[in-house]
Structure 1
Amino acid sequence: MGYKARFRVWRGDDADGDLHDYTVEVNEGEVVLDVIHRLQATQAPDLAVRWNCKAGKCGSCSAEINGRPRLLCMTRMSTFTEAEIVTVTPMRTFPVIRDLVTDVSYNYQKAREVPAFRPPEDLAPGEYRMQQIDVQRSQEFRKCIECFLCQNTCHVVRDHEDNKTNFSGPRFLMRIAELDMHPLDTHDNRAQEAKEDHGLGFCNITKCCTEVCPEHIKITDNALIPLKERVADRSYDPLMRLFRKPKK
């Protein structure tokens, strides 16, 4: 059975905008993105929204629904009551291009700043060998679809625009942690770079990034906290510092 839902959708650009009220039909089994598409087809043909796969795998349709960062295509209308007003707004951390579409180029800039995987020079492709436990550890982080919801909800950049220069955010600190754990990566200074170049110290492990991850990656527990521990060991543990001293 269908019903009429009340939607409140943000319309505008980075300079000016406001919430607009709509009443739109909802059918059984639909997600928020279905309703946004129906809204485009029937009432607001100029409404801008970014999407691609509609299967929770491309990360394109990130937005905020009733104030919570979510994927439009993975948020079922059945999670709301028929009387509830569903408010859809763009991700708050990034500049708005138009309506629900934001400029996420900050994330691609930070991605370019992370040094790539550096394999041993004496190994050719196809000769890499790893323990299964190391494979499994990396696989969790490789599930990331780069929806940037974790980046959006991280208060370090969400509430402090000036931190963007010095803080790469949970998605890319997780990437650094993944590479730092990789047994075949020969780039031996990743933890220190995380501290000095990517702002690891800004993270206060509130786990807000983990809470909004649609792939249920334990970003804080399995990536950021272990990375912080390795940085502390290498930078402040006197035994580790002594161990690193060159022999005379």
Structure 2
Amino acid sequence: MSSATFRVWRGDGGEGALVDYEVEVNEGEVVLDVLHRLQATQAPDLAVRWNCKAGKCGSCSMEINGRPRLSCMTRMSVFAPGEVVTVTPMRTFPVLRDLVCDVSRNYAKAREIPSFTPDPALGPGEMRMRQEDVARPQEFRKCIECFLCNNVCHVTRDHEENKEHFSGPRYLMRVAELETHPADTADRRMIAQDEFGLGYCNITKCCTEVCPENIRITDNALIPLKERVADRRYDPLVWLGERIGLRPGLRRDTPIVPNTRRTPR
């Protein structure tokens, strides 16, 4: 058994400060283990959001030594002996208290995305897909909604004025997931550009770097979505083909229904 200095941000949305604690650390523990011990021994009023402690719920997102991470997946062994472990809330979202942020804006953005729209001509049991057709959207379904990608994205992190116009990598990836789904018939390309702020993204790949599920957000979602938008807006042959109904699977008469079923955890 050893000890470590934890520098933890304490406060609420109005004001706060970093407070140092000396906490016991056991072999094999993660940062969340130490925060729980800190709650049990020194700071019972410390607010920490967590749920599964298995890296699958995305609840324990925070910034550890300046890097957005899941505290349940960050082992204490990654820090050098004697290194101070600084734990702060995600910087991009409003702080409710201590390490807990208000991420409700993300769920509001989720409800704005037109939901999955199958071909209305197909009846129950008639939809057919091949595994190779679903490989791309299947990768995006691994998202645990930790919102680390939205937190680290400099478009909103460093530019407050963009927050209302930019949905962030997580929900642009959701648009890409639906756009690449072989059984979906809605066209969300212009919505992604005009309403969700796809044009703000300059593909720095910071979202990909912090994804705990190793989803290639930039390469497999954002860049292909940008290419689809460019084709739709600037390619005259694509524009002409759509006007005369040559794009397979696209039904212009299919209504786009907002997704109202999404509720926060």
Is 1:235 aligned to 2:217, yes or no? no
Counterpart residue number, 1:50: 49
Q: What SS does the aligned partner of 1:10 have?
A: strand
In 1, Cα distance between the equivalents of 2:36 and 2:27? 15
SS in 2 for 1:204: coil
How far, CA to CA, are the matches of 2:125 and 2:57 in structure 1? Answer: 28
Q: With CA pairs under 8 Å and 6+ residues apart, which has the higher RCO, 1 or 2?
A: 2
- Match of 2:231, SS state, is helix
1:108 partner letter: Y
Aligned-partner Cα distance in 1 for 2:242–2:46: 58
Kept after mapping to 2: 8 A contact 1:170/1:209: yes
Q: Could you list the per-position Cα deviations for residues 22-76 of structure 1 after superposition, in whole angstroms to 9, with x for gaps in the alignment? A: 0000000000000000000000000000000000000000000000000000000
Matched, 1:139 2:130: no
After superposition, give the CA deviation of every residue in 1:168-206 in whole Å (9 maximum; x if it has no partner): 11000000011111121111x211110111100000000
Query: Does 2:172 match 1:178?
Result: no
Contact 2:92 2:157 in 1 (8 A): yes
Q: Which residue in 2 is equivalent to 1:161?
A: 160
Letter in 1 for 2:183: L
- Segments of structure 2 that go 5 or more residues without pairing to the other structure are 246-265
For residues 176 and 245 of structure 1, the distance between their equivalents in structure 2, rounded to whole angstroms, comes to 23
TM-score normalized with structure 2 length: 0.90
Aligned to 1:214: 212
Aligned residues: 245
Counterparts of 1:45 and 1:148 in 2: how far apart (Å)? 26
| Whole-angstrom distance in 1 between the partners of 2:126 and 2:157 | 43
Change (3 A) 1:125 1:102: farther
Q: Is residue 30–residue 76 contact of structure 1 (8 Å, CA) maintained in 2?
A: yes
Question: How far does residue 146 in structure 1 lie from its aligned partner after superposition?
Answer: 0.2
Looking at structure 1, the residues matched to 63 and 88 of structure 2 have their Cα atoms a distance apart, in angstroms, of 5
Does the residue aligned with 1:167 lie in a helix, a strand or coil? coil
Alignment TM-score, normalising by the size of structure 1: 0.96
The residue aligned with 2:248 is none
**Cα distance in 1, alignment partners of residues 102 and 69 from structure 2:** 17
5 Å-filtered alignment, 1:74-93, equals 74-93=73-92
- Write out per-residue CA displacement over residues 127-159 of structure 1, whole angstroms, 9 at most, x where no aligned residue: 321121122211110000000000000011111
Identity of aligned residues (%): 73
- Alpha carbon RMSD of aligned pairs, Å? 1.1
